[in-house]
């Protein structure tokens, strides 16, 4: 991953952390209850759809360069996660 992308992702993470810390415990509990309720009621397929729509909306408001960097990073992370999942299921280690 290049340094510009790492810096951008680090800045985004800091902003999300600041937002997370600014949300009160009661708001977090309320969000968790709503999230868990949707998950229990509609299932993981529905939630994956919601997550995807949310990500797509976020990507639409980003500049092309940042969007492309994020999509490449996302693809790499997904590939790693899939590889690790299947290696784990097969009892293999990916070192």
CA neighbor of 55 nearest in space, from 82, 79, 73, 37: 73
CA–CA gap between residue 22 and residue 16 (Å, rounded): 10
Express each pLDDT in 13-29 by its tens digit. Answer: 788 777 777 777 888 88
Report if residue 95 sits inside a domain: no
pTM: 0.48
What mean pLDDT comes out for the span 50-74?
88
What is the rounded average pLDDT of the residues 57-68? 88
Query: In this structure, is residue 29 part of a structural domain?
Result: yes
Per the domain annotation, does 28 fall within a domain? yes
Only one residue has tokens 């797509």, namely 56
For 76, the domain range is: 3-90
pLDDT tens digits for 48-57? Answer: 999 889 888 8
Nearest to residue 78, comparing CAs of 55, 62, 60, 50? 55
């Amino acid at each position: 991953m290049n340094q510009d992308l790492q810096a951008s992702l680090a800045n985004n993470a800091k902003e999300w952390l600041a937002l997370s810390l600014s949300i009160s415990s009661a708001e977090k509990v309320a969000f968790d209850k709503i999230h868990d309720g949707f998950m229990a009621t509609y299932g993981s397929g529905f939630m994956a759809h919601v997550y995807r729509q949310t990500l797509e909306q976020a990507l639409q408001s980003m500049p092309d360069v940042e969007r492309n960097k994020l999509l490449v990073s996302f693809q790499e992370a997904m590939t790693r996660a899939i590889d690790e999942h299947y290696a784990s299921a097969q009892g293999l280690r990916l070192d």
